[in-house]
Amino acid sequence: MLIDTYGRVATDLRVSLTDRCNLRCTYCMPEEGLQWLAKPDLLTDDEIVRLIDIAVRTLGIEEVRFTGGEPLLRPGLVGIVERVAALAPRPRMSLTTNGIGLVRTATALKAAGLDRVNVSLDTLRPDVFKTLTRRDRHQDVLDGLAAAREAGLTPVKVNSVLMPGLNDDEAPDLLAWAIEHDYELRFIEQMPLDAQHGWKREGMVTAGDILASLRTRFDLTPEGADARGSAPAERWLVDGGPHRVGVIASVTRPFCAACDRTRLTADGQIRTCLFATEETDLRAALRSGAPDEEIARVWKLAMWGKKAGAGLDDPSFVQPDRPMSAIGG
């Protein structure tokens, strides 16, 4: 069991498969990209599956989310999913993606055992998409979403970040579009995980702003804490249901007290939080020939030291050196 000193138990493992991405979202990385990890530094497919096996078999992990960078850029992704689906006990599996490669991979991922996907899409306007991502791939994302739905990777969740002066007026339009296409929309407050360290709290679009905008067109009924559990998103029924909309308010309404996540970076480091400034190296233990029991012990020690919260409200908060693309959102 992965438990910390505050009694929280981690059952959800986020696995970053690569630090690379084929978009350049303004809130994530600079236009020229980043210094990518060297291939020898990345975990191999076998190493990833072994660590997930240890987590599932001995540490109580019940759900695995594959992230990046952009996980669809990982050549061995379908094989990794297939091998994890064969583990006992079998974890629930999902994927967070920008959607660009889903047209060619959705069917294969479903056949391999993937349960569902989260797709990032911040705008319905192709010109705004190009400004936000610095790439002209808007239609590719829409096509990828449709492919995921048709392949049965449901519920298809759409993650949207609203940026002031760019797409902060789109919340009602995004929700109407998501309802029309049977996607579950979740808005995410912009977090201080950009490589440029340009994030400013006073300039962000808050959960309160988002909900106020949505209520100009929709009636929202909160699901409540019992329905939420340890999920990061607060959810509301839209116009009485059955459709829902979620808001992940990591900055203004942090949910650290209910956090049940542990994170594995693409180069084999354990992070106890997106905003952690310390990591624990599992890759070195793997490559030195450590048995599963030793790797599990190191992982447990890392989780035991998890802090109470992210500390975003603390004036002394220090932004992590790694951008979101390297951590796995």
Mark the binding-site residues for GTP, compressed into ranges.
14, 65, 96, 157, 261-263
Name, in order, each residue with C-beta under 8 angstroms of 97's C-beta and a sequence gap of 6 or more. 68, 70, 71, 72, 117, 118, 119, 120, 144
Q: How many CA atoms lie within 13 A of 106 on its CB side?
A: 25
How many Cβ atoms sit within 10 Å of the Cβ of residue 279? 18
Binding-site residue numbers for [4Fe-4S] cluster are 21, 25, 28, 256, 259, 273
Nearest one of 95, 174, 94 to 129, comparing CA atoms: 174
CA distances from 248 to 187, 205, 254 (A): 6, 12, 9
Binding-site residue numbers are 14, 21, 25, 27-28, 65, 69, 96, 120, 157, 191, 256, 259, 261-263, 273
Please give the Cα distance from 52 to 72 (Å, whole number): 18
Nearest one of 176, 258, 162, 160 to 209, comparing CA atoms: 162
Measure CA of the first residue to CA of the last residue in the chain; give whole Å: 23
How many Cβ atoms sit within 10 Å of the Cβ of residue 293? 9
Binding-site residue numbers for S-adenosyl-L-methionine are 27, 69, 120, 191
Please give the Cα distance from 102 to 263 (Å, whole number): 24
Which residue type sits at 144?
A: G
Q: Tokens standing for 307?
A: 């802090």
Q: Tokens standing for 244?
A: 């829902």
